[in-house]
Amino acid sequence: MASAKAVKQRIRSVKNTAQITKAMEVVSATKMRRSQEFAIKARPYAIASLNLLRNLVTKTKELPGILERREKKECYGLLVITSDKGLAGALNANVIRKAEAWIKMRRANNENSILVTVGKRAKDYFEHKGVPIHKSFWGFGDMISLSETLPVAEVLMEGFLDHTWDEFSAVYTHFRTTLLQEAVLRKILPITQEGVEEIVKGVIPEYGKFSSKPYTLNPIPYHYEYTYEPSPEALLTELVPQLLRMHVHHMILESNASEHSARMVAMKNASDNAKELITDLTLTYNKARQASITRELSEITAGKEALESN
């Protein structure tokens, strides 16, 4: 059995760790609530822009390049969104696994693929693996504005328009509930109506404080004629990129909210484990202490008896 002193030292170090994980848990809980709220605020905007897009698309004969579906696809792109920091359970591992499966599938079909990464985790991982990366982004904070995520969307659009890739997908963490986040793969370019509807649905968490308002995306029948200033084509070429920017922004926000809740859960588990460990160690410590007392007592008694028998 370990000495009482050694056990005591271990208890102290475990207590310190528990304190840190507890603090991280509380911080993540706050951050999670905030980023969730932040993602929710964008909801009316998302819904309104979808309605407008649907309306414009039905009135336009010539779709802008970003809506074009190409028959022949030469290169596929993938946007991988992870966090910058670890200690968030299986969050990043899940995203990376999904991305790996995608790359494997492309390779199996003999198709070209290229990555764009967001977050240090994805960048480090794929750089180490030697997977070609077109561009990497990292260092996004919690309360990012649209202008900060704009370069990501611009890169995706440029690449699509100059035929660097003909289809673009994204892997990110979909925030379903506080306890449940899942890595999802979604097609983002070319922009389709179904794709946009998915984004809007994704804005709302399924349970919890922010899931309150049930919301339906029933198309409003636009039976009347609109006047367009300047023209539907000109409006579409401005609205569609804006929508993509919003989409990318939203995916990053959602991954961010997921990161915080995943970390909160991971840290809660760590704190619970530490507590359990402390209970076990305290028991061991008490046993060791008791053993040493018994030993000392028997030594004294033995000594006394030896003296008396003389």
Partner 1 sequence: MKLGIYTLQGTLFEGDIKQLTTTTTVGEVTILNHHIPLVSRLVGPIVRLVDTSEKESIIKITSGFLEVHEQGEVVILAE
Residue 33 interacting with partner 1 (CB under 8 A): no
CA-to-CA distance for 64 and 280, rounded, in angstroms? 66
Q: Contact between 239 and partner 1 (CB under 8 A)?
A: yes
Identify residues 175-234 at the interface with partner 1 (CB under 8 A): 220, 224-230, 232, 234
CA distance 50 to 193: 8
Q: Decide whether 37 or 276 has the Cβ nearer to partner 1.
A: 37
Closer CB to partner 1, 235 or 251, in the complex: 235
Burial call 131-144: b when 16+ CB within 10 Å, e when fewer: beebbbbeebeeeb
- CB of 234: closest distance to partner 1 in angstroms? 8
Q: Cβ closer to partner 1: 26 or 48? A: 48
d(CA 292, CA 50): 74
Q: Considering beta carbons, is residue 37 or 296 the nearer one to partner 1?
A: 37
- Contact call for residues 246 and 253 (beta carbons, < 8 A): no
> Is 145 a binder of partner 1 (CB under 8 A)?
yes
56 binds partner 1 per the rule CB under 8 A: yes
Cα–Cα distance, 134 to 117 (Å, whole number): 8
| CA–CA separation, 261 and 178 (whole Å) | 6
Comparison of 238 and 280: residue with beta carbon closer to partner 1: 238
Q: Per-residue x/- mask for partner 1, residues 74 to 113, rule CB under 8 A? A: ----------------------------------------
Binding site for partner 1 (CB under 8 A): 41-42, 44-45, 48-49, 51-52, 55-56, 145-146, 220, 224-230, 232, 234-235, 238-239, 242, 246, 249
